[in-house]
Amino acid sequence: MKVNIITVPSTEKVVLVGLTNHHYPIEIAKEHLDELEFLAKTSGARTSKTFLQKLDRPDRRTFVGKGKLAEIQVYVQEEGIDAVIFDDDLSSSQVRNLEKVLECKILDRSLLILNIFSLRAKTAQSQTQVELAQYEYLLPRLTNMWTHLSKQKGGIGMRGPGEKELETDRRIVRDKISLLKKKLVKIDHQSLTRRKARERMVRVALVGYTNVGKSTLMNLLSKTEAFAENKLFATVDSLVRKVVINQIPFLLTDTVGFIRKLPHTLIESFKSTLDEIREADLILHVVDISHPYFEEQMEIVQTTLREIGIQNTPQILIFNKIDRINAKDTKEHDPHLLDLDQLEKSYRKNGQQDCVFVSATDKSNIKELKQSILDKVKPKHFAIYPNYLKYGIY
């Protein structure tokens, strides 16, 4: 059996639904929906319309209120919409209720992210990790997802939703989960051996929100071709390259980007990929400074790092894409944008000693970036190889 949790083929027309309230004022809620639209586009779908409702908390039965639901229903029917995507996680009963009214595919942000990850995963390791995350997502929702999925092409089966079948399917999914976990242990063991076999070298990891330019910087620093693209989650597997600056070698890792509301099952099952970050001696936290909400993105990255158990690894903050805020027309567009000197001062004042402002595409300030990486890597390198220092090899 292969679970093919709802996918979004490129031909599909979708609508997006989110809430605004005192947690998410209208500006922020709109930005979240913009990001959801970018996720949908990355999945290959076309967004026809977005709906935003002012509601303190999601309606227990249908996420949005009755009136809004009726409005969405009319639109879905008139425009022949294929799927409705909600910005927050839906419970299984919400999915069922919404499906009854809207009569089309119902997805939430987590499912969409899982979908993108499964399209992007290239290695056996990341494919297994994503598949595990999908089954883990599915298991608690199986009761009602069953009807949901069984109506759709690529669902997990085509039989009716009788209790007995449901029990059988729960068992099948549980068996599958334990099988995948076993498979992952084996793969993890191999990659651990590989990591151990690497030369003892200082390890540096590129970390950041998705689409900030991590892979572009990786390419620049290591002169390789990591896959970079203006889509979310271009990178799902990690890539490790040896980089040498002024004769000091170190290993640089480029890995999966973070995003708000990253499904927990994904964090769990990507544990071994995230080990690359956990084992790093230095974190390069890349920020897209041209993004209007870059500070919220930074916060999400720091929270996710804490969630995966990374607290004290030294960091360099790399503010990337300065070409976009230097560009005159962007400034006119976004008058609140930013005096870089001011920003640097305020970060230093807040105890962040190392920050660099760069553009990976027009290669500005890359020399400064390399110098600040070197300043951090050098002492660690000589701590591993003290004799080199003693004999004055460098």
Ligand X SMILES: Nc1nc2c(ncn2[C@@H]2O[C@H](COP(=O)(O)OP(=O)(O)OP(=O)(O)O)[C@@H](O)[C@H]2O)c(=O)[nH]1
Residues found near ligand X in the complex (CB under 6 A): 208, 210-216, 228-230, 232-235, 257, 320-321, 323-324, 359-361
Distance, CA of 185 to CA of 16 (rounded, Å): 38
Partner from Mg ion, ligand X, none binding residue 360, C-beta < 5-8 Å depending on class: ligand X
Nearer to Mg ion, 63 or 294 (CB): 294
Write down the least CB distance from residue 288 to ligand X, Å. 7
| Alpha carbon distances (Å) from 291 to 282, 288, 299, 357 | 25, 6, 14, 14
Torsional sign, CA 187, 278, 202, 343? positive
Residues in contact with Mg ion, counted by CB under 5 A, come to a total of 4
Partner from Mg ion, ligand X, none binding residue 212, C-beta < 5-8 Å depending on class: ligand X
Write down the least CB distance from residue 253 to Mg ion, Å. 11
**Is residue 320 within 8 Å of 288, Cβ to Cβ?**
yes
Nearer to ligand X, 113 or 360 (CB): 360
Partner from ligand X, Mg ion, none binding residue 216, C-beta < 5-8 Å depending on class: ligand X
**By CB under 5 A, residue 234 contacts Mg ion:** yes
Q: Which two tokens stand for residue 159?
A: 């039989």
**Is residue 37 within 8 Å of 70, Cβ to Cβ?**
no
Nearer to Mg ion, 51 or 209 (CB): 209
Determine the residue with CB nearest Mg ion: 235
**205 sits in which H/E element:** strand 202-208
Write down the least CB distance from residue 260 to ligand X, Å. 13
Q: Which of 126, 215, 238, 320 binds Mg ion (CB under 5 A)?
A: 215
| Distance linking the first and last C-alpha atoms of the chain | 58
**By CB under 5 A, residue 134 contacts Mg ion:** no
Q: Which two tokens stand for residue 124?
A: 């056996």
**Is residue 244 within 8 Å of 194, Cβ to Cβ?**
no
Write down the least CB distance from residue 248 to ligand X, Å. 24
Pairing of strands 355-357, 315-320: parallel
Nearer to ligand X, 150 or 364 (CB): 364
Distance, CA of 13 to CA of 45 (rounded, Å): 6
Cross-strand pairs, 253:
205, 240
Distance, CA of 372 to CA of 194 (rounded, Å): 29
**Is residue 145 within 8 Å of 136, Cβ to Cβ?**
no
Partner from Mg ion, ligand X, none binding residue 310, C-beta < 5-8 Å depending on class: none
What DSSP string describes 237-256? S-EEEEEEETTEEEEEEE-P
Write down the least CB distance from residue 319 to ligand X, Å. 10
DSSP state of 54: E
Write down the least CB distance from residue 380 to ligand X, Å. 25
Write down the least CB distance from residue 371 to ligand X, Å. 18
Partner from ligand X, Mg ion, none binding residue 36, C-beta < 5-8 Å depending on class: none
Distance, CA of 1 to CA of 171 (rounded, Å): 12
Write down the least CB distance from residue 356 to ligand X, Å. 12
Q: By CB under 5 A, which span of 96-104, 167-175, 206-214, 353-361 interacts with Mg ion?
A: 206-214
Nearer to ligand X, 29 or 252 (CB): 252
Nearer to ligand X, 76 or 286 (CB): 286
Write down the least CB distance from residue 190 to ligand X, Å. 24
Nearer to Mg ion, 234 or 310 (CB): 234
Partner from Mg ion, ligand X, none binding residue 361, C-beta < 5-8 Å depending on class: ligand X
Sheet (strand 46-54) strand order? 46-54, 13-20, 83-86, 105-108
Residue type for 223, please? K
Q: Which two tokens stand for residue 133?
A: 């995350």
**By CB under 5 A, residue 235 contacts Mg ion:** yes
**By CB under 5 A, residue 273 contacts Mg ion:** no
**By CB under 5 A, residue 290 contacts Mg ion:** no
What are phi and psi for residue 385, nearest 5 degrees? -120, 70
Distance, CA of 316 to CA of 282 (rounded, Å): 8
Q: By CB under 5 A, which span of 31-39, 226-234, 296-304, 312-320 interacts with Mg ion?
A: 226-234
Using CB under 5 A, list all residues that contact Mg ion.
Answer: 214-215, 234-235
